[in-house]
Amino acid sequence: MMCFIGTDVRLRYKPNLVRDGEGLLRKRKLNLGGTANLYIRPEQRMFVRLFGAFCLLKIIIDLKERIIMKKGFEKYIPFEPVKLPDRTWPDKVIEKAPIWCSVDLRDGNQALVNPMNLEEKLLFFQTLVDIGFKEIEVGFPSASETEYEILRALIDRNLIPDDVTIQVLVQARPHLITKTFEAISGAKNVIVHFYNSTSTLQRKVVFHTDMQGVIDIAVEGAKLIKELTQQEVAKTGANIRFEYSPESFSGTEMDNAVLICDKVLETLGATPEHKVILNLPNTVEGMMPNQHADQIEYFCRHLKGRDSAIISLHPHNDRGTATAATELGILAGADRVEGTLFGNGERTGNADIMNVAMNMYTQGIDPKLDFSEMNKIKEVYEQCTEMKVHERHPYAGELVFTAFSGSHQDAINKGVEYMKQHNSEYWEVPYLPIDPADLGRQYEPIIRINSQSGKGGAAFIMQQIFGYQMPKAMHPEFGKIVKAACDKAGREILPKEIFALFEEEYLNVHKPYNLKSYKIYEENDVENETVVHFEGNLRFEHMDHVISGVGNGPIDAFFNALKTVGITDYKFVSYSEHAVSEGANSKAISYIQLECPNGTTIFGVGLDSNISLASIKGIICAINRAQK
Ligand SMILES: [Zn+2]
């Protein structure tokens, strides 16, 4: 927003007496917003009034022009789309990974507040190799001594695997090209990437040249590169390939972009066997992704040497749609993508290769890049670039596998259970587009519990982390307890705190009834039916009470024993149990649901290595809780 100088000026007439050299004179003081004082004689009053009126009028006209007539957005020229009514890309789908080229160490690095030092660049390079990049742009060796040294370190220390091609960038200028060839000497596989700007705007405001001038620069550069390559190959047998970028491609008239690229292909002698990479930078993203795709399809269709070229994308993210532009660009015919990890790069950054690759992965396509150790990659990235990966960054952010909302938690819970029960070979979990395990992340942090969480969330944590499978009917009861704790704490509750609540609520309840000792035995009656006897010592009201009962199972027998001391009002509703492992030992845990005298139901939990005792403990727990 422009600052309107003068809009705050208030013209104030204020009678004043001022002494001057000629004695006491009646004068008027004009205070201009407190910043300038003008002293005038009475006979000049009319002039001042007219002047004031003029200023006021000027201010009103200015304001009208600036605020009402001229709006900020009107100074921008809209992008003019390519005319391609018979475009074919919208009906296509991505079926395979493109050739990836990381430009982290060049485009990404040049945009850092503190560019990487040698050690950081080497660490980053190794990380890119580990991820699976086969083409890595390592720098601009003719532009700085540091970049030159880094390239030499990679070559001289033999750090470049045989199946990895390093790429070096150079402007299409003779002395820089020569220096670049010195820098790559001894490398096995190299892409010499040269460029010059072709955009309409840059031709007008930067280079003051016409298209022919721009073509001449590219062709001269190509000639020299070809010549130096022949010398280097003769000397070392290196495998040198070429890449040409009409820089600011997307701001260039498409026919001019096609023309210059065909000239370059011709000069370099590109053939279908020895293809040349034509990299088409969306140097400043200034159009919608579909318009970018139209440009790519138009370019591919009109390029004479299409068979002899590898079409490469180099999107930037000024509009926040670099990922979309990359994907649509692939549909439109691109074979290769240049970008960076997490989208680092000039201004808003480059296309985020991880994002594009993982998008393919979640569509069932092998991206040919391995992000299974996402946290480690992120760590290296953050260390080397001093940048942060946002908490909500796709696939990589700290919070992207976390569900806070109750309905999401519940659905995730059901999805995970469904997959287990059906042994599903596909990922079928709502709200999670990807299995966190595929990125080296764990299930634990998927669900976090705050006051927004639903009844299923705490149960999910208990099941996923601690192995306690509470029956469904118990979820609301425990959920309410956890929610109350969240509200009280006013913050997120961690899994260990949830477990502590569970222990306190269900496992450490020994009052008012406490079973001191017991005996259970079976007996077969004359009809050969098994009856179970329970005998025990139940302490309550400061006294030990001997109780005994008979039933068709331990639970039944215990219930009958309780009746002998007047505990008769509880009805058995449901029972479930499973094993939990505690260190080396396995224990049984049972969940008992009883109906209370007032008609409500309540759960009790019993944990014991003896399965019958686990149930009995569960019953006592429920009764104790009911009497709290
Ligand atoms: Zn770039």
Q: What is the pLDDT of residue 66?
A: 63
CATH 1.10.287.1400 domain range(s) in the chain: 406-507
Centroid of ligand 1 to alpha carbon of 117 (angstroms): 20
Query: 23: pLDDT confidence band, cut at 50, 70 and 90?
Result: very low
Query: 456: pLDDT confidence band, cut at 50, 70 and 90?
Result: confident
Q: 227-231, 308-312, 522-526 — which is least confidently predicted?
A: 522-526
Closest CA to 354 of 369, 366, 365, 364: 369
**How many whole angstroms from its chain centre is CA 332?**
26
Cis peptide before 554 (omega within 30 of 0): no
- Statement: residue 6 has pLDDT above 80: no
Centroid of ligand 1 to alpha carbon of 209 (angstroms): 23
Centroid of ligand 1 to alpha carbon of 291 (angstroms): 19
Q: Between the CA of residue 66 and those of 61, 72, 163, what are the distances in Å? A: 9, 9, 60
Radius of gyration of the chain (CA): 38
Centroid of ligand 1 to alpha carbon of 79 (angstroms): 20
Q: What is the pLDDT of residue 52?
A: 79
Centroid of ligand 1 to alpha carbon of 314 (angstroms): 6
- Residues 30-53, mean pLDDT to the nearest whole number: 63
DSSP 8-state code for residue 79: P
User: Coil, strand or helix: which one is 181?
Assistant: helix
Centroid of ligand 1 to alpha carbon of 352 (angstroms): 12
The span from the CA of 30 to the CA of 52, in Å, is 10
Answer yes or no: are the C-beta atoms of 560 and 547 closer than 8 Å. no
> Which superfamily does CATH assign the domain made up of 514-626 to?
Alpha-isopropylmalate synthase LeuA, regulatory domain (3.30.160.270)
Centroid of ligand 1 to alpha carbon of 110 (angstroms): 10
Counts of helices then strands in the chain (DSSP H, E): 18, 17
DSSP 8-state code for residue 106: I
Centroid of ligand 1 to alpha carbon of 323 (angstroms): 14
- Residues 591-599, mean pLDDT to the nearest whole number: 93
Q: Is the dihedral of CA 444, 449, 453, 459 positive or negative?
A: positive
The span from the CA of 263 to the CA of 324, in Å, is 30
Q: How many CA atoms lie within 13 A of 151 on its CB side?
A: 31
User: Coil, strand or helix: which one is 4?
Assistant: coil
Centroid of ligand 1 to alpha carbon of 282 (angstroms): 8
Centroid of ligand 1 to alpha carbon of 107 (angstroms): 5
Centroid of ligand 1 to alpha carbon of 215 (angstroms): 21
Centroid of ligand 1 to alpha carbon of 153 (angstroms): 24
The span from the CA of 373 to the CA of 382, in Å, is 14
Centroid of ligand 1 to alpha carbon of 197 (angstroms): 12
Closest CA to 307 of 337, 270, 338: 270
Centroid of ligand 1 to alpha carbon of 271 (angstroms): 27
Q: What is the pLDDT of residue 436?
A: 92
Centroid of ligand 1 to alpha carbon of 588 (angstroms): 61
DSSP 8-state code for residue 217: H
The total number of residues shown for the chain amounts to 628
Percent of the chain residues topping a pLDDT of 70: 90
Name, of 27-31, 229-233, 585-589, the range with top average pLDDT: 229-233
The span from the CA of 187 to the CA of 399, in Å, is 42
Pure H helices in 452-511: 455-466, 475-489, 495-502
Answer yes or no: are the C-beta atoms of 33 and 10 closer than 8 Å. yes
Q: What is the pLDDT of residue 5?
A: 38
Centroid of ligand 1 to alpha carbon of 283 (angstroms): 6
Query: 220: pLDDT confidence band, cut at 50, 70 and 90?
Result: very high
The class level of CATH for 406-507 reads mainly alpha
User: Across 239-328, where does the E strand assignment appear?
Assistant: 239-247, 276-282, 309-315
**How many whole angstroms from its chain centre is CA 397?**
4
Cβ neighbours of residue 588 closer than 8 Å, sequence gap 6 or more: 577, 578, 579, 580, 607, 608, 609, 610, 611, 614
The span from the CA of 266 to the CA of 199, in Å, is 21
Centroid of ligand 1 to alpha carbon of 315 (angstroms): 7
Centroid of ligand 1 to alpha carbon of 257 (angstroms): 17
Centroid of ligand 1 to alpha carbon of 316 (angstroms): 6
- Residues 449-468, mean pLDDT to the nearest whole number: 80
CATH 3.20.20.70 domain range(s) in the chain: 93-385
Strand order through the sheet with 530-540: 514-524, 530-540, 543-551
- Statement: residue 520 has pLDDT above 80: yes
Instruction: Label residue 93 exposed, middle or buried (CB < 10 Å: 0-12, 13-18, 19+).
Output: exposed
> Which superfamily does CATH assign the domain made up of 93-385 to?
Aldolase class I (3.20.20.70)
The span from the CA of 285 to the CA of 9, in Å, is 42
Centroid of ligand 1 to alpha carbon of 509 (angstroms): 65
Q: What is the pLDDT of residue 205?
A: 82
The span from the CA of 393 to the CA of 568, in Å, is 59
Centroid of ligand 1 to alpha carbon of 280 (angstroms): 10
- Statement: residue 168 has pLDDT above 50: yes
Centroid of ligand 1 to alpha carbon of 332 (angstroms): 20
Centroid of ligand 1 to alpha carbon of 338 (angstroms): 8
Residues 343-361: tens digit of each pLDDT: 999 999 999 999 999 999 9
Centroid of ligand 1 to alpha carbon of 246 (angstroms): 12
Cβ neighbours of residue 263 closer than 8 Å, sequence gap 6 or more: 215, 218, 219
Residues 300-327: tens digit of each pLDDT: 999 999 999 999 999 999 999 999 999 9
Answer yes or no: are the C-beta atoms of 628 and 505 closer than 8 Å. no
Q: What is the pLDDT of residue 493?
A: 85
- Residues 402-422, mean pLDDT to the nearest whole number: 84
Closest CA to 603 of 615, 586, 587, 588: 615
Q: What is the pLDDT of residue 448?
A: 67
Centroid of ligand 1 to alpha carbon of 251 (angstroms): 14
The span from the CA of 296 to the CA of 312, in Å, is 10
**How many whole angstroms from its chain centre is CA 227?**
45
Centroid of ligand 1 to alpha carbon of 302 (angstroms): 24
User: Coil, strand or helix: which one is 516?
Assistant: strand
Q: What is the pLDDT of residue 40?
A: 60
Centroid of ligand 1 to alpha carbon of 284 (angstroms): 8
Closest CA to 296 of 320, 325, 272, 269: 325
Element (H, E) at 301: helix 289-302
Strand-pairing partners, residue 519, are 535
Q: What is the pLDDT of residue 590?
A: 96
Centroid of ligand 1 to alpha carbon of 162 (angstroms): 26
Q: Which position has the higher pLDDT, 348 or 417?
A: 348
Amino acid at 322: A
Residues 528-587: tens digit of each pLDDT: 788 899 999 999 989 999 999 999 888 899 999 999 988 888 999 999 999 988 666 789
Centroid of ligand 1 to alpha carbon of 129 (angstroms): 21
The span from the CA of 297 to the CA of 283, in Å, is 18
Q: Is the dihedral of CA 325, 327, 331, 335 positive or negative?
A: positive
Q: What is the pLDDT of residue 319?
A: 98
Amino acid at 188: K
Closest CA to 249 of 302, 285, 204: 285
Centroid of ligand 1 to alpha carbon of 350 (angstroms): 6
Pure H helices in 345-454: 353-361, 374-385, 406-422
